[in-house]
C-alpha cells in the first residue's frame, strides 16, 4: 500500500492539459490553428475594449519552409500592451486571469487562453513563443521568449530585452502586443477555417478592424481577408455584479459564509448578493429560523441548507443587467451587411432576463441574400459573448432553437419541419451571459436550457415575421 501511495503524484494543471490538449481545442491539425488565432484575437478584443480603444488586429500565418505541417502564427494588436512584470504570468500560467472570479460578460472565462497556445507550440515543436509588448508610458518595448514549466505551472522566460518597436513603414509603435508562435498545424479554407472564424468575429464586433494574410513556403500570399470597422462606437463597458441567491449551490455558499467579513447575517446577505433588500434579508432569516445577529462564520452546513431553501421561498429582486454587453440591432445589421450581400436584414435584441440567478440576453439576426445558394441549408452563425462557435453545430442549444421554429410559415423551405431550414439566408444567434454553459471545456456548443431556448424561439419568430412581410411586398 505504501509503495503504491508513494508513486501517486499530484499532476499540475498544465501537465493535465498537456496530456489532454483536446480539451483546449487542439485536437486536430486544422483546428489547432483556428484555436490559436481565436485565443489571440479574444485577448486583443478584450484588452482594447477594457482600455476603450478601437481594436486594429492583424493576423498572419506563414507555412514554414521544408517542414511538414508547421505554421508560424502571428497576432498583433494596438491594445494597451501588457505591463513588463505581468507578461510571464499572462502567457505562462494556466488559470491566471481576472475572469474566473468575476460576474460579468467576458469572452474568455477560464484563463486558459493564450497560455494554451504557448503550451501547444512548445509541445509540438519544442519552441518558445515570442512576445513583444509596449505600454504607452514606457519609451521602449519588451521583447521576450516564453516557454512553460508544466510541472510548476510557471513560465520560463529567455532572451528578454528592451528596444524600440517599429511597424513595417518604420513608424514607432506606441502601444500593443505581438505574439509569434510556431506550431504543428494545417491551414485549410472552407466553413471551418481561420478565414471564416475572423469573418464571423468581424460581424459581431463591428467596432473592430481585422485583417488576415496567409503565406506559403515561398512567401506568396495564398489567402487573405480584410474586415474594416463599420462603427466607431465601442461596446458599452460591462459592470461586475454580485452573485444572485438563486444561482447558489451549497459548496460555494458555504465558502461565502466562511470568508465573510460582515458580523451580522443581515449585512452579510445584503452586501454579498444582488437582489437582496433589508426586507428580503430579514424574511430569509425568518423563514430559515436563524437569528439576525448570528455571525456568518458560525453557520453550520445544516443551517446553510435552510438558508438556500429560504432563498427560493422569498421574493427577491432580479440581478442587475448592466453586466451584459449586447451588440444591439443596428450594429448587427451593419455587421451582417458588411459580410453578406443582402436584400433584407431583420434583427432582434430581447430584453435581458435571468436563469438560475444568471442574467442573460439573446440576439438574433436574419439576412436574406442574393449571393447565397437557395437550395442548401441556411448559413447558421452561432455566437456566445461575441465569440464565434465553429464546431459541434448539431449538438448546440443555438442550433436546436433554430430547428424548433416552423420556418415554412415565414417563407423558408423546411422539409418535414425538421432540422435547419433551406434558403438563400443566414441566421445569426448570439447569447450574452455572465455564465455561458458550454457542453465541454473546448467551448464549442451550448448545453440545453429551457429558459434560454424559449427566449431564442421568440426572437427567431420575430425575425421570421419580418422576413414574411418582406417577401409579401
pLDDT for position 19: 63
Q: Which residue has the cell 463599420?
A: 230
- Whole-angstrom Cα distance, residue 223 to residue 60? 10
Q: pLDDT of the chain along its 473 residues, tens only?
A: 444 444 444 445 555 555 665 556 677 888 889 989 988 998 899 889 888 999 999 999 999 998 889 999 999 999 999 888 888 877 766 544 433 334 445 555 334 567 788 888 888 888 999 999 999 999 899 999 988 876 776 778 889 899 999 988 889 999 999 999 999 999 998 888 999 999 989 988 889 999 999 999 999 999 999 999 988 988 877 777 777 777 677 777 888 788 877 778 888 888 888 778 888 888 888 888 888 888 888 888 888 888 888 888 888 777 776 777 777 767 777 777 766 666 788 888 888 887 777 788 899 988 887 677 777 888 888 998 888 888 888 889 999 999 999 999 888 888 877 888 988 888 989 998 877 888 876 678 888 889 899 999 999 999 999 888 888 87
**Cut 0.75: pTM above it:** yes
Comparing C-alpha atoms, which of 80, 38, 274 is closest to residue 173? 80
Cell of 128: 518558445
Instruction: Work out whether strand 70-77 and strand 176-184 pair parallel, antiparallel, or are unpaired.
Output: antiparallel
Tell me if residue 287 falls in helix, strand or coil: helix
Tell whether the torsion through CA atoms of 6, 8, 12 and 15 is positive or negative: positive
- In this prediction, residue 33 carries a pLDDT of 92
Q: What is the pLDDT of residue 16?
A: 59
∠ CA 141-146-151, nearest 5°, is 150
What does the DSSP assignment read for 153-207? TEEEEEEEEEE--B-TTSPBP-SEEEEEEEEE-----SSSSHHHHHHHHHHH-TT
CA distance 168 to 344: 41
Amino acid at each position: 500500500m505504501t509503495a503504491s501511495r508513494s508513486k501517486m503524484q499530484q499532476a499540475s494543471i498544465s501537465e493535465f492539459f498537456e496530456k489532454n490538449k483536446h480539451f483546449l481545442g487542439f485536437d486536430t491539425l486544422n483546428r489547432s490553428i483556428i484555436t490559436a488565432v481565436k485565443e489571440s484575437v479574444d485577448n486583443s478584443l478584450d484588452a482594447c475594449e477594457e482600455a476603450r480603444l478601437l481594436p486594429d488586429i492583424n493576423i498572419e500565418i506563414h507555412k514554414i519552409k521544408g517542414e511538414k505541417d508547421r505554421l508560424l502564427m502571428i497576432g498583433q494588436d494596438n491594445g494597451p500592451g501588457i505591463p513588463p512584470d505581468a507578461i510571464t504570468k499572462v502567457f505562462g500560467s494556466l488559470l491566471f486571469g481576472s475572469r474566473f472570479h468575476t460576474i460579468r460578460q467576458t469572452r474568455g472565462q477560464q484563463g486558459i487562453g493564450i497560455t494554451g497556445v504557448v503550451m501547444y507550440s512548445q509541445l509540438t515543436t519544442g519552441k518558445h513563443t515570442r512576445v513583444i509588448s509596449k505600454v504607452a508610458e514606457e519609451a521602449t518595448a519588451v521583447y521576450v521568449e516564453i516557454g512553460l514549466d508544466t510541472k510548476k505551472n510557471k513560465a520560463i522566460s529567455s532572451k528578454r530585452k528592451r528596444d524600440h518597436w517599429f511597424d513595417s513603414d518604420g513608424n514607432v509603435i506606441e502601444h500593443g502586443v505581438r505574439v509569434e508562435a510556431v506550431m504543428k498545424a494545417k491551414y485549410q479554407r472552407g466553413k471551418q477555417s481561420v478565414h471564416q472564424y475572423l469573418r464571423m468575429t468581424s460581424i459581431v464586433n463591428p467596432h473592430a478592424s481585422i485583417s488576415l494574410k496567409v503565406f506559403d513556403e515561398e512567401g506568396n500570399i495564398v489567402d487573405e481577408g480584410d474586415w474594416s470597422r463599420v462603427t466607431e462606437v465601442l461596446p458599452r463597458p460591462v459592470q461586475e455584479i454580485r452573485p444572485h441567491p438563486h444561482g447558489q449551490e451549497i459548496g460555494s455558499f458555504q465558502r461565502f459564509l466562511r470568508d465573510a467579513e460582515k458580523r451580522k447575517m443581515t449585512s452579510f446577505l445584503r452586501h454579498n448578493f444582488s437582489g437582496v433588500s433589508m426586507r428580503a434579508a430579514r424574511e430569509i432569516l425568518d423563514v430559515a429560523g436563524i437569528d439576525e445577529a448570528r455571525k456568518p462564520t458560525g453557520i453550520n452546513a445544516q443551517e446553510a441548507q435552510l438558508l438556500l431553501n429560504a432563498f427560493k421561498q422569498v421574493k427577491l429582486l432580479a440581478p442587475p443587467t448592466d453586466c451584459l454587453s449586447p451588440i444591439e440591432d443596428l450594429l448587427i445589421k451593419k455587421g451582417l451587411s458588411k459580410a453578406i450581400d443582402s436584400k433584407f436584414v431583420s434583427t432582434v435584441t430581447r430584453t435581458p432576463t435571468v436563469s438560475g440567478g444568471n442574467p442573460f440576453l439573446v440576439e438574433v439576426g436574419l439576412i436574406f441574400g442574393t449571393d447565397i445558394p437557395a437550395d442548401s441549408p441556411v448559413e447558421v452563425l452561432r455566437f456566445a459573448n461575441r465569440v464565434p462557435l465553429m464546431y459541434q453545430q448539431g449538438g448546440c442549444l443555438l442550433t436546436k432553437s433554430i430547428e424548433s421554429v416552423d420556418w415554412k410559415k415565414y417563407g423558408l423551405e423546411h422539409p418535414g419541419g425538421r432540422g435547419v431550414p433551406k434558403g438563400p439566408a443566414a441566421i445569426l444567434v448570439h447569447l450574452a451571459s455572465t455564465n455561458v454553459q458550454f457542453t465541454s471545456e473546448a467551448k464549442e456548443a451550448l448545453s440545453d436550457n429551457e429558459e434560454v431556448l424559449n427566449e431564442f424561439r421568440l426572437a427567431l419568430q420575430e425575425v421570421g415575421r419580418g422576413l414574411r412581410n418582406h417577401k409579401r411586398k
